[in-house]
């Protein structure tokens, strides 16, 4: 649905143009969802995900927030728990990230997600159209790679999501998480950010740890 063209000062506004604009705004206004509320900002609407009162304390088992072990065939692996990344029309189920426990040191760990923002008539709009598969990144200094804010004409960019500080010592790994929960990538022209979604349900046994 295309909005009517902009009017000059003093130009009449037709009822059909006004009604088309109202219909377009209603069609593009998101609806509330279970365990989520709408938050309005100058860039538009986004979701704030709520935890139930019974799950108010942060627990282990949250995505991207802890060191776990699992079996792959006959091989026992240790790494960082994966989770879901929501970015545009894609939901990525990010695998656990295996670690080399023989490489001692302190590392910064993050995810890199390529994004394409919404572009219409060569205008950059709020929202993300699509994304590429998240990539695990790790380096031994205190700096993360820089984000790339979507720009015209393609509207492509790169989101950087800090996972945390990883310490490997004497064959054991510890993770100080930057945050917990699955990841929602958001965009407003000039801004690229993310929020975390905590699992509101009780954590079940992880099949990877069998």
pTM of the entire predicted model: 0.69
The 10s digit of each residue's pLDDT in 169-209 is 999 999 999 999 999 999 999 899 999 988 654 444 444 44
Q: How far apart are CA 196 and CA 9, in angstroms?
A: 44
Domain ranges of the chain: 14-50, 63-205
User: How much is the pLDDT for 36?
Assistant: 54
Q: How far apart are CA 172 and CA 25, in angstroms?
A: 54
Tell me the pLDDT band of 101, cut-offs 50, 70 and 90: very high
Residue with tokens 């026992």: 76
The 10s digit of each residue's pLDDT in 39-82 is 655 555 555 554 443 333 334 578 999 999 999 899 999 999 99
- Identify which of 74, 73, 75, 65 has the alpha carbon closest to the alpha carbon of residue 96: 65
């Amino acid at each position: 649905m295309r909005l009517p063209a902009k009017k000059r000062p003093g130009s009449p506004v037709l009822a059909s143009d006004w009604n088309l604009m109202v219909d377009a705004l209603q069609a593009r206004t998101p609806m509330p969802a279970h365990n989520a509320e709408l938050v309005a900002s100058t860039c538009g609407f986004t979701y704030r995900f709520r935890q139930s009162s019974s799950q108010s304390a942060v627990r282990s088992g949250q995505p991207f927030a802890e060191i776990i072990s699992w079996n792959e065939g006959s091989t026992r692996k240790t790494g960082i728990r994966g989770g879901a990344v929501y970015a545009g029309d894609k939901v990525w189920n990010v695998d656990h990230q295996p670690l080399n426990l023989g490489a001692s040191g302190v590392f910064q760990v993050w995810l890199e997600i390529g994004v394409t923002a919404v572009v219409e008539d060569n205008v950059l709009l709020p929202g993300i159209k699509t994304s590429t598969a998240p990539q695990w990144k790790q380096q031994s200094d205190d700096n993360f790679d820089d984000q790339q804010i979507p720009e015209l004409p393609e509207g492509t960019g790169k989101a950087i999501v800090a996972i945390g500080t990883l310490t490997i010592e004497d064959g054991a790994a510890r993770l100080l998480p930057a945050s917990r929960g699955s990841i929602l990538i958001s965009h407003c022209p000039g801004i690229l950010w993310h929020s975390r979604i905590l699992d509101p349900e009780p954590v079940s046994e992880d099949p990877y740890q069998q």
